[in-house]
Amino acid sequence: MSNQQTLPSEQEMKTYRVQGLSCTNCAAKFENNVKNLEGVKDAKVNFGASKITVYGETTIEELEKAGAFENLKIQDEKEQRIEYKPFWKEKENIKVYISAALLIISWFLGRQFGENNIIPTIGYAASILIGGYSLFIEGLRNLSKFKFDMDTLMTIAIIGAALIGQWGEGATVVILFAISEALERYSMDKARQSIGMLMDIAPKEALIRRENEEIMVHVEDIQIGDIMIVKPGQKLAMDGIVIKGTSTLNEAAITGESVPVTKTIDDEVYAGTLNEEGLLEVKVTKRVEDNTLSKIIHLVEEAQAEKAPSQAFVDKFAKYYTPAIIILATLIAIIPPLLFGGDWSYWIYEGLAVLVVGCPCALVVSTPVAVVTAIGNAARNGVLIKGGIHLEEAGHLKVIAFDKTGTLTKGIPAVTDIVTFGGNENELMTITAAIEKGSQHPLGTAIIRKAEENGLNINGVSVEEFQSITGKGVKAKVNNEMYYVGSSTLFEELHGSIENDKKQKIEKMQTQGKTVIVLGTEKEILSFIAVADEIRESSKSVIRKLHQIGIEKTVMLTGDNKRTAEVVGKEVGVSDIKADLLPEDKLNFIKELRGKNQGVAMVGDGVNDAPALAASTVGVAMGGAGTDTALETADIALMSDDLSKLPYTIKLSRKALSIIKQNITFSLAIKLVALLLVIPGWLTLWIAIFSDMGATLLVTLNSLRLLKVKE
C-alpha cells in the first residue's frame, strides 16, 4: 500500500511497543509488511523507541505475523513494558544451540572419518538447516524480488558454500550470524533501557480520597480534581497542586537535581517524584497521559525517531554499498577463472567471503545505538534532547547566548542592602514594607518579602492617607507622621537637594546594578533600601566551565540598562554584553551571530525568548518541568530551573559525536581490511563473518560508553 500524503485522523491511530527490533533494515521491513496489512492505511516505525504507530485498524496477532521474520513481540503501548530477557535465554535462540552442538559433533566426526565423509557432511547440513531455516526463507523470498539485504547476502553465501563442498564453513557462518543478530538485539535493548527506567518511575496506582473514603485507584481512572494522599517514602503517581501538608520532595527523576525541594500549599508537584518526610494531600491537575513525566517519555521517544545527520549519511552509504559489494563479489568469483585460468571452486569461495564481508550490520547500527544511548542518559539526568540532529549540533557549538533575567539571574528582585540614618532598622523596615503593601510594585514586593523573612509584623501597622506619586514613589501616614517612599529624585524635589555623602552612597549602589528606594519624611531621609535581581549561584561556575570546555564566546542579552547589565555580566564572567534590547533585537542579534559562526545556542526560560530560541542553531530552554512552552519551543530543555546541566549537555553531545565518528570509521576500516585479505587469498568465510560480528559488537560497546557520561 502506498504511503498516503495525508495521515488519517487521530481516532484511527494506535501505537504499539515492539520487542526484538535489532536493526534499521528489520524496522523498515516490518514497517513495509504492516503497511500491506488489510485495514492499515499507513504505519510508522520508531526504531530508537522500538514502537510502531499504525493508522487504520489491525490486531496484535496480525502485527506479530507481519514481524514473524524476526520473531517480533507486540503489545499495546499502555500495557506494562515487556521484560527484556538476556539474549541467551530467548526462545528463538534454542535452534542456534542445537545447530552449534551439531557443528561441534560434526567437526569431531570429520576428524575421525575425514572431512569429505558423508556422516560429518549430514551433520553440517542439519546444522545449517536448523540454524538458518528462517534466514533462508527470508533470503530466498528477497532474492525472488531482487531485494538485496543482509538476509539475501547471507543466504547466497551459505548455499554457495554448501554447493562447493564447504559444509563446515557454511554451518559456522550460520551460527556466527545468529550470535551477531542476538548481540545486536541485546545492545539495542540495553540502549533503550534508559527510557524503560523512566517509564517505571511513577507508580501505576495511587491512594485517592473520594466522598470521605480512601481507595487505591489505577492511574488511568484518576480524574482531574481528585485528592491524592501521598505518605512519606511514597512516589507521586500524578501531577498536581499541594492543598495540605509540607514536605521535601526528591525531584531527580524529572529535573535531574538530587537535592530535595521543599513543597507546601499551592506548590506544583510532579508524577515520579519521591515524597521524603511529610504527609501531603495533592489535588490532581493533569490526566496520566498529560503529566510532565509522560511528556518527557513521549518527547524522548519522538526524539529517537529523528535521524541524526550522520545517520542519514550511513543510510545513503549503505544503499549504494550493498549492491557494489554484490558486483565486486561476482567479479572476484568469475574473472580470475575466466581470464587467468584460476580454480573455479577457490575463487567462488573468495567471492562468497566478500559477500559476507558486505553485510553492513556494524555500519548501520553505528549511529542509532549512540544516539539512543545519549538521549536516554540525558533524560535520566534531567535534560531533554529532542532529536539526534540537536544532539549533534550541540556538539558543534562555538557561541552561547543567554537571556539575563530568569536565566543568569533568578528573575525575582531581592533586598541586598539596608542603610539607616539614626533610626531602628527593623522599625523603619516595618514602616516601609507596610506602606509598600498598597503599591503593587515589584520592588515593593521584594521589600515586603524581606520584612516577612525577618519576622516583622507589617500587618500590625496602621497606614492612612496612602497616595501614589506617579513615576516617583508613594506617600502615606503612619502613627500620624507622613512618610515618603520612592526614588532619590522624589527626595531631591522634596528637600531641594540630598546631602553629598548620602548622594555618593546612592550612586555607589547604582553602579553595582542596584535600584535604591529611599524612606524619609518631608524634613529628613531615614533609610536606603537597595534592591537587585539576584544572580543565580550556579551562573558564574557554569560560564567558567563553558569557557574551559572550549566555548569561544558567551553573550548576555538583556532589555535592562547598560549599567545594570555590565555589573551582572562582569559578575558572571560572560565575554560579551548586549543591553537595552527589545525581543526583536534579541532575535536579530541571534541571526547576526549565526551569520558569523556555525553553531550558536540561545539559552532562555522559553516564555518570552521563543523567537530567539527558534532562530538559534540549538534553542535551550530552562525550567522545562514548570512550563509547557519551554518543552515545546526548545531543541533542548533543561528540566530544572538551573543552568548547571548545560556543560554536561555539551560534554555528552561532543562525546556522542566522537563516538559516532569512531564507529563509522572503525566499521568501514574493518571491512576494507577484510576485503584486502582477498588479494593474498587469506579471506575465509568465518573470518568474514567474524569481522562483521566483531565490528558490530565493538561499535555497540563503544556506544554504550555514553551511559557513563556524568556531570
Q: What are 366-384's pLDDT values in tens digits?
A: 888 888 889 888 888 888 8
Longest Cα–Cα distance in the chain: 120
Would you state the cell numbers that stand for residue 267, as one nine-digit string? 506548590
Asked if residue 269 is part of any domain, the answer here is yes
Beta strands, E only, 548-700: 553-557, 576-578, 600-604, 618-622, 636-638
- Residues 439 and 583 grouped into a single domain: no
Over range 197-215, report the average pLDDT: 83
Look over the chain and give the mean of its residue pLDDT values, rounded to a whole number: 83
**419-478 tens-digit pLDDT:** 988 788 888 999 999 988 877 777 788 899 899 888 888 888 888 888 888 777 889 998
Ordered DSSP codes for 323-387: HHHHHHHHHHHHHHHHHH---HHHHHHHHHHHHHHT--HHHHHHHHHHHHHHHHHHHHTTEEE--
Cα 3 to chain center, whole Å?
Answer: 29
Of these ranges, 2-16, 312-326, 360-374, 479-493, the one predicted with the greatest mean pLDDT is 479-493
State whether 213 and 182 are in the same domain. no
Residues 317 and 173 reside in one and the same domain: yes
Structural domain ending residue among the three candidates 36, 58, 83: 83
Residues 510 and 543 in one domain: no
**Do the domain assignments include residue 419?**
yes
Same domain, yes or no: 342 and 453: no
- In this prediction, residue 553 carries a pLDDT of 92
Residues 476, 530 within the same domain: yes
Q: Are 72 and 119 within one domain?
A: no
User: 434 and 460 in one domain?
Assistant: yes
- With respect to residue 200, please indicate whether it lies within any of the assigned structural domains: no
Residue 4 inside a domain? The answer is no
Nearest-5° Cα angle at 325, 371 to 363: 10
Note down the domain range covering 432.
410-535
Residue 5 covered by a domain: no
In a domain, 216, yes or no: yes
Q: Which residues of 405-436 are buried (b: 16+ CB within 10 A; e: fewer)?
A: bbbbbbeebebbebbbbeeeeeebbbbbbbbb
Model confidence at 7, in pLDDT bands (50, 70, 90)?
A: very low
- What is the predicted pLDDT for the residue at 194? 63
Specify burial of residue 123 (Cβ count, 10 A radius: 0-12, 13-18, 19+): buried
Segment 387-402 mean pLDDT: 90
> Domains in the chain: how many in total?
5
| pLDDT greater at residue 703 or residue 307 | 703
Please tell me whether residues 356 and 479 are part of one structural domain: no
Q: Tell me how crowded residue 18 is: count the other CB atoms within 10 A of its CB.
A: 24
* 431 lies in the same domain as 513: yes
| Banded pLDDT at 4 (limits 50, 70, 90) | very low
The pLDDT of residue 364: 76
% of the chain residues with pLDDT over 70: 91
For position 48, which CATH number holds? 3.30.70.100
Same domain, 404 and 545: yes
Which residues, other chains included, contact 588 with Cβ-Cβ below 8 Å and sequence gap of 6+? none
pLDDT bin (cut points 50, 70, 90) of residue 298 is: confident
Judge whether 199 lies within some domain.
no
> Is 403 part of the annotated catalytic residue set?
yes
User: Containing H/E element for 216?
Assistant: strand 213-218
Q: 602 falls in which pLDDT band (50, 70, 90)?
A: very high
The domain boundary residue, chosen from 64, 83, 102: 83
Same domain, 189 and 311: yes
- The reported pTM is 0.77
382 near 640, Cβ under 8 Å? yes
Say which CATH number the domain at 647 has: 3.40.50.1000
pLDDT in tens, 533-558: 888 888 999 999 999 999 999 999 98
pLDDT for 6 equals 44
The residue annotated as part of the active site, out of 403, 533, 560, 635, is: 403
Enumerate long-range contacts of 138-142, CB under 8 Å, 24 or more apart.
138/69
Banded model confidence at residue 5, pLDDT cuts 50, 70, 90: very low
**470: CATH:** 3.40.1110.10
CATH code for the domain in which residue 248 is found:
2.70.150.10
pLDDT of residue 81: 56
Kindly report which listed range (276-280, 297-301, 653-657) carries the lowest average pLDDT score. Answer: 297-301
Task: Quote the pLDDT of residue 445.
Answer: 84
Does 295 fall in a domain? no
Per-residue pLDDT tens for 117-155? 888 889 888 988 888 887 888 788 877 877 776 777 778
Best-predicted range by mean pLDDT among 71-80, 348-357, 566-575? 566-575
Q: Single out the residue in 46, 65, 83 at which a domain terminates.
A: 83
Region 233-256: mean pLDDT is 88
Mean pLDDT of 353-375: 81
